[in-house]
Amino acid sequence: MTMKPYDAHIHFYFPFPPDELRRVFHHLTKIGLAGFNALVFAEFPSDIETVLKMVPGAFHNVFTLSVLENQKDPFPYFEWAEPLTIVPFVDARFIENGIEEKIKGFKQNGFKGLKIIYIPEEDTTIRVKGMEQAFGRPVKKSEDITARLIESASSQGMCVLLHADLRRYGDFVNEMIRSYPQTNFNVPHFGFSRKTIIHLLETYPNCYTDTSSLVPFMTDDPLSYKSFIREYQDKILFGSDAMIGTPERVESSLRFVEQFLDDRETFHKIVHTNYCTYQGVSECP
C-alpha cells in the first residue's frame, strides 16, 4: 500500500476570501497529500503593531487584523477539506494569561496541538522583534509563560511544535522536553543547529524535528544534510512551512525532499511513518 505524505507545518493564514480554500484543498489533494497540521492564530491582540513584532518581517505586508479575524475559527473551513486530514494546532505566541483555562478550552473546541514561537529577544535573522519588545517582559518571564503553556498542553494530551533557536535557547528547550516525556515535541527547522539538535534527538524519544524552510540550505550543502537525515531518519518530519494559500510551496517542498533523498524508505518515514508516531497514532488514515 502506498503511504501518502503529511505536512507537519502549514500556517493556516489566508489573505483572500475563505471560499478560495476549496481550490487550495483540491490542489493539496491532487498532489497526493493525505493531511497536515494547521497552525492557527486563535488569539491575538487588537494592536497590529504588537502582532507584527512577533511575525517574521518577510510577512508583514500580508498580516492584518481583518485577515486574522478571518481565520480565527477555522473549523467550518476544515469541512471542505475532505479527504484531507487536518490536525489543528493553536498558535499561542500571543497568549499571556488565563493559560490553563484557555488551553483546556482550545482542546475542547477541537485543537489537538500547541504551536509556540519562542523568541524572547530580538531575532535579526528572521526580523522578529521578540517577546521583550512586543510585551515588555524580561526573558525569565517569557520562560515562565512558555513553560506554563507547555505544561497545560501536556496535561491535555496535545503535541507541541516549539520553534526556538537552539544556539541561543537550547538549555531551556532541553528542560521542556525532558520535563514532559509523554508529550511529543517538534523543534522545527532542525532547531537552527544540526549540531545542537543531535543531543535532543538522541536523548529524548519524544523529540522530533522537521524540514521546514530548509530547502535553500539543503541545496547549498547536500552531502552533509543527506547524511544527517539518514542518520536521524526516524526523528525527522516533513514540513513545508507554507501558508495555506500557497499550496504550490507545499508541492515544491515535497517534490524537492523526495528527489533530494532518492531513497523511498527514508522518504516514506519522513513524510508518513514518523508523522503518525509524532501524532501518537499507530496508523494514519
**pLDDT digit string, tens, across residues 46-76:** 999 999 999 999 999 999 999 999 999 999 9
> Smallest Cα–Cα separation from 135: which of 43, 50, 55?
50
pLDDT tens, position by position, 21-52: 999 999 999 999 999 999 999 999 999 999 99
Contact yes or no for 29/85 (Cβ under 8 A): no
C-alpha cell at 234: 526516524
C-alpha cell at 111: 485543537
- For 116, half-sphere exposure in the C-beta direction (CA atoms, 13 angstrom radius) is 30
Question: What's the average model confidence in pLDDT over 85-112?
Answer: 97
Contact yes or no for 40/12 (Cβ under 8 A): yes
pLDDT of residue 285: 66
pLDDT band at 280 (very low <50, low <70, confident <90, very high): confident
Checking if the pLDDT of 283 tops 90, the result is no
Contact yes or no for 184/208 (Cβ under 8 A): yes
DSSP annotation of 185: E
Q: Is 6-279 in CATH node 3.20.20.140?
A: yes
C-alpha cell at 59: 510577512
C-alpha cell at 50: 504588537
C-alpha cell at 177: 522536553
In terms of DSSP H, where are the helices of 20-179?
21-30, 48-53, 65-71, 75-78, 99-109, 131-135, 139-155, 166-179
Contact yes or no for 110/60 (Cβ under 8 A): no
Q: Are strands 185-186 and 159-163 parallel, antiparallel or unpaired?
A: parallel
CB-based contacts of 251, cutoff 8 Å, min separation 6? 27, 31
Amino acid found at 176 = M
pLDDT tens, position by position, 208-267: 999 999 999 999 999 999 999 999 999 999 999 999 999 999 999 999 999 999 899 999
pLDDT of residue 39: 98
pLDDT tens, position by position, 166-214: 999 999 999 999 999 999 999 999 999 999 999 999 999 999 999 999 9
Length of the chain: 285
pLDDT band at 94 (very low <50, low <70, confident <90, very high): very high
